[in-house]
Chain A
Amino acid sequence: MAYFTREERKAFLFLALVLFCGTVLNLAFKLNCRMEQFFCSRMESVKIDLNKSSAEELFRTGKISRRMSQRIVDYRLECGDFESLEALKKVKGIGEKNYEKLKAILFVE
């Protein structure tokens, strides 16, 4: 009979537990899409929606100035929602450099 030390038993137990959880979660995601949304964070969940955020929220990210965040909101009010992130370049003061910075923290649904 195989003899396992205490550490070996803990390691095997951990592996078995993780595999079991993975199987259960995979099954649960197939049966209920909402569970997948809750348990699997997407990049959008840690970014700010460009079309729904206020100037204060944009400024609080620390990536843009208060003036720039206000310009983005003003542009949105004038011309409607942004269709894509690329449309940010149409806002005065947002060139390629600023766009690259904002791409990391914003998304468009």
Chain B
Amino acid sequence: MKRPLALFVLFYCLGIILVRLLRIDIRILFCLGVVIFIALVLGNGGGRVFPVCIFLAAFILGALNLKCFYVASKRDIGNLVSYGDKTVYAISGFVDSRPYVKDGNTLFVFRAQEIRSGDSGRLCSGRVLVKIDFPCGLRYAERLTVFGVLQRPYAAGTYKDYLRGQGVSLSMRIKSSLQLIRHGHCGGNMLMAYSERLCARLNSRLRRFLPELPAGIVCAMVLGQRDSVPYLVNEMMVKAGTVHILVVSGFNVGIVAFVSGLLLKMARLRRKRRILLVSLFLIGYCLVTGASNPVVRATIMGIFFLCAYLFEREADIYNSLACSGLCILVVNPFQLFDIGFQLSFLSVLSIVYFYPRLSSFLHLTRLKSGPAVFLCEGFLVSFCAWLGTFWIIAYNFKIVSPVTFFANLLVVPLATLITLCGFAILLSSPFFPFAGELIGTTASALVSLLLHINALMMKIPHAYFYL
């Protein structure tokens, strides 16, 4: 059978979708799981029983995973606080996500460990979305005690589902600094905490060599920090269908793999050690940029390809894509319904599936002129990615951007150069600050060009329209 792993993951996803659409008792799923496991053991000898059972097992595993995700522990904070409760609680815990500032407010997910009301207190678990009405410079894993009223998120569908997918069942709003006590100690995952600090240092390094506006855009492209991207720039790119360049994705991971491999090769390290170190760099970059779905996908796929190169085996892109999807869904099956996850995987899948077929259909190999090949290939890749994603974007964001093909043809190469300049600044500036300044000047000019091109695209009639 070709690509059994991809089929396995497909059935796993179908199981997750089934539980989301239908109410099935978890006991039924467990019983089915036991039956299939017995059938697997008995059918291990050969024949068709084993493959059928393994895919059914994948189906049941996906269903069970999501079902278990729905079940909150008895100590979960969502179970301790009833609907409409106006009691002021004191909750101790730590910051469990990277805080970001939006419209002057600080938002983050808070991991609760102890809840107190008056003189009584008890241990608890679970996550709370905290919104503070002022910027306060919090960091991941910082220990806090917050005081306030706990509320359920709004009943309106998608945002509540999104929060539930993050494991958040309650929210709290803090209006005054008196409602917040910072303990300064470090809780949470130490690796993530160090990654966040490193990200902050790299961010400040980029800002040293770039003016404010280009710095915000380069930080988004290189480090995934989108806080400083001006609102109107973001809006303009959404309308032009080029906002994906502000997201850290496979391309950035590819650059890290290439640059680190190149430097290690120049250091004349052996292949095995080089591949191991490149894999470690990829994992480090994934953590520094916040381990979003596209970066995790690209990192796992990159490691797959490196291992294939190491063991002299042929890498299969569908299997590596499936494996990266499985790794994400095993940790959090709700990610299947996350728009970022869907866009990231579908765009890669549609490029991988449609590009070779369309390329041979259009006989691109007959083209001999370099610029013509570059233009046609670029347009085709953009078209293939659009084929896989336009319906999700239209359904969720109610916008269609016909100008996206032409915009991407110009913007993506520019974004490539800007990203490369960003990495060059980070690598060269500790040793040669003057080089960092020169590269920064070039990067600023490229960012300016990119914004001009985007603005020009928006002036084309019917560049975008809302549904």
Contact = CB atoms under 8 A, between A and B. Distances in A.
Contact of B445 (A39, A62, A101): A39
Contacts of B28: none
A25 interface: yes
A22 B440 contact: yes
B411 to A, nearest CB: 15
Contact of A46 (B213, B420, B424, B444): B213
B230 A43 contact: yes
Contacts of A100: 103-105
B211 A105 contact: no
Interface string A11-44: 1001100110111011001000000001111110
A41 B440 CA distance: 13
A43 B231 CA distance: 11
Interface string B201-228: 0000000000111100000000000000
B451 A5 contact: no
Contacts of B265: 5, 8
B435 interface: yes
B44 interface: no
A101 B259 CA distance: 40
A109 to B, nearest CB: 16
A100 B103 CA distance: 5
B448 A41 contact: yes
A43 B232 CA distance: 10
A30 to B, nearest CB: 11
Contacts of A46: 213, 230, 232-233, 451
A7 interface: yes
Nearest to B420: A14
Interface string B437-448: 111111011011
Contacts of B213: 41-43, 45-46
A21 B421 CA distance: 12
Interface residues of B, number: 35
Which residue, B230, B232, B428, B439, has most C-beta atoms of chain A within 10 A? Answer: B232
Contacts of A7: 258, 262
Q: Which secondary structure characterizes the binding site on chain B?
A: helix
Contact of A41 (B420, B428, B438, B447): B447
Contacts of B133: 97
B266 interface: yes
Interface string B165-186: 0000000000000000000000
A84 interface: no
Contacts of B448: 38-41
B316 interface: no
Contacts of A29: 441
B235 interface: yes
Contacts of A61: 231-232, 235
A22 B266 CA distance: 26
A46 B448 CA distance: 11
A52 interface: no
Interface in B132-173: 133
Contact of B442 (A5, A25, A104): A25
A19 B438 contact: yes
Given A39-B448, A42-B211, A19 B439 contact: yes
A94 to B, nearest CB: 13
Given A7-B262, A41-B448, A42-B212, A26 B232 contact: no
A42 to B, nearest CB: 6
Nearest to B451: A41
A48 interface: yes
Interface string B244-277: 0000000000000011001001100000000000
B444 A39 contact: yes
Given A15-B424, A22-B439, A22-B440, A105 B266 contact: no
A14 B447 CA distance: 17
Given A8-B262, A18-B420, 13 more contacts: A8-B266, A21-B445, A22-B439, A39-B448, A40-B445, A41-B214, A42-B212, A47-B230, A63-B231, A97-B133, A100-B103, A101-B104, A104-B103
Interface of B: 103-105, 133, 211-214, 230-233, 235, 258-259, 262, 265-266, 420-421, 424, 428, 435, 437-442, 444-445, 447-449, 451
22 contacts: A11-B259, A14-B424, A18-B439, A19-B435, A21-B442, A22-B437, A22-B441, A22-B442, A26-B438, A26-B441, A39-B445, A40-B211, A40-B448, A41-B214, A41-B451, A43-B212, A43-B230, A63-B231, A100-B103, A100-B104, A101-B103, A105-B231
The 8 closest A-B pairs by CB, nearest first: A22-B438, A100-B104, A39-B445, A41-B448, A22-B441, A22-B442, A21-B442, A46-B230
